[in-house]
């Protein structure tokens, strides 16, 4: 963690929520969860941030993982559908952290120095991360474990979902608790997705991860560097998973896979079937 005073961030965020006109919460969907699962979607937003101007990225490289202003279309909606489907399957809600602001103003998946260029955008960024911090800290306290799933879109392979964990760095806490089968093989998240027809690359027994899609700041910080002791996985969905007519079906399958994985490794259970 480099120079980012998280305890201070939380304090600032709390005071800003009481502020007037430029209310950052309008630009974020933040939902407290009961499950040890966070659904995060930093790049799907399309809204302007009042008082902010588009980032210029001076001194930053324009490449995947560098300075990017294109949004990941459909991921805000897909994340919401997956959260709802997970709630049905597990009888409790995941945490939801979705950025509704356009990436041209602020990028939650970058370290602070590269994420925003004015105070209005910084406030939204700090809210996003204060909430993720609260989610990870709370999951760890309540459940002793947790999983952040960071939803993205990629434009290079329409039928593929690229999995990014820093080649295992951000899922190390799962391996420590459960051994390698938590991240390789049929019961891993990639394995559960593959079994249901989602073409995850790399597959559960394959390495390494695709260059450019190995996980960004969110998976690195919450899954490894920040010391939260939870796991984090980035999923970069190709266009055919994000198009409007496909989203509901994709969300159902992805929620099935996450639920199966969470029952095996996160202590989640299916709700009792009600019979009166
Ligand atoms: Zn993205």
What is the H or E stretch that residue 31 is in? strand 28-31
Give 135-172 pLDDT, tens digit per residue: 999 999 999 999 999 999 999 999 999 999 999 999 99
Stronger pLDDT, 2 or 207, i.e. the higher one: 207
| Phi and psi, residue 208, nearest 5° | -85, 180
For residue 2, the model assigns a pLDDT of 41
**Average pLDDT value over all residues in the chain:** 90
Q: Average pLDDT in the 3-16 region?
A: 39
User: 220-242: per-residue pLDDT in tens?
Assistant: 999 999 999 999 999 999 999 99
| Distance from the alpha carbon of residue 75 to the mean position of ligand 1, in angstroms | 9
130 pLDDT exceeds 80? yes
Residue 14 has a pLDDT of: 35
Q: Check residues 12 and 84 and name the one with the higher pLDDT.
A: 84
CA of 45 to the centre of ligand 1 (A): 11
pLDDT-above-90 percentage for the chain = 83
Q: How many Å lie between the centroid of ligand 1 and the Cα of residue 10?
A: 24
Q: Reading across the β-sheet that carries 231-237, which strands appear in turn?
A: 28-31, 95-99, 37-41, 147-153, 231-237, 161-164, 200-201
Give me ligand 1 centre to Cα 48, in Å: 18
User: Per residue in 183-203, pLDDT tens?
Assistant: 988 999 999 999 999 999 998
Instruction: Give yes or no for a contact between 166 and 231, defined as CB atoms under 8 angstroms apart.
Output: no
Question: What's the CA-to-centroid distance between 260 and ligand 1, angstroms?
Answer: 25
Distance 105 CA to ligand 1 centre (A): 14
Domains plus CATH for the chain? 7-265 (3.40.630.40)
pLDDT in the model for residue 9? 39
Distance in angstroms (rounded) separating the CA atoms of residues 94 and 150: 13
pLDDT at 203: 87
- Pairwise CA distance, residues 3 & 114, whole Å: 13
- Non-local (6+) Cβ contacts of 143 within 8 A are 36, 266, 267
pLDDT interval class at 272 (50, 70, 90) = confident
DSSP letter (8 states) at residue 223:
I
Cα of 274 vs centre of ligand 1, distance in Å, is 39
Distance 72 CA to ligand 1 centre (A): 5
| 28 C-alpha to ligand 1 centroid (Å) | 16
């Amino acid at each position: 963690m480099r120079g980012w005073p998280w305890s201070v961030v939380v304090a600032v965020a709390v005071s800003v929520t009481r502020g007037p006109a430029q209310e950052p919460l309008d630009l974020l969907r933040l939902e407290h969860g009961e499950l040890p699962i966070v659904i995060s979607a930093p790049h799907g937003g399309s809204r302007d941030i009042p008082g902010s101007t588009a980032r210029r990225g001076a001194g930053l490289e324009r490449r995947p993982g560098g300075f990017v202003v294109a949004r990941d279309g459909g991921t805000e909606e897909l994340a919401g559908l997956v959260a709802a489907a997970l709630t049905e399957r597990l009888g409790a809600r995941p945490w939801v952290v979705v950025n509704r602001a356009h990436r041209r103003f602020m990028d939650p998946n970058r370290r602070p120095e590269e994420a925003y260029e004015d105070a209005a955008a910084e406030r939204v960024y700090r809210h996003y991360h204060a909430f993720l911090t609260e989610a990870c800290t709370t999951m760890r306290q309540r459940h002793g474990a947790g999983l952040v799933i960071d939803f993205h879109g990629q434009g290079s392979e329409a039928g593929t979902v690229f999995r990014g964990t820093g080649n295992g760095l951000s899922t190390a806490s799962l391996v420590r608790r459960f051994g390698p089968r938590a991240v390789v093989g049929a019961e891993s998240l990639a394995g559960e997705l593959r079994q249901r027809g989602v073409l995850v690359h790399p597959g559960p027994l394959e390495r390494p991860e695709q260059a450019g899609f190995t996980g960004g700041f969110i998976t690195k910080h919450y899954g490894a560097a920040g010391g939260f002791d939870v796991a984090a996985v980035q999923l970069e969905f190709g266009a055919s998973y994000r198009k409007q007519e496909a989203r509901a079906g994709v969300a159902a399958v992805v929620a099935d896979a996450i639920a199966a994985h969470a029952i095996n490794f996160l202590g989640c259970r299916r709700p009792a079937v009600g019979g009166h």
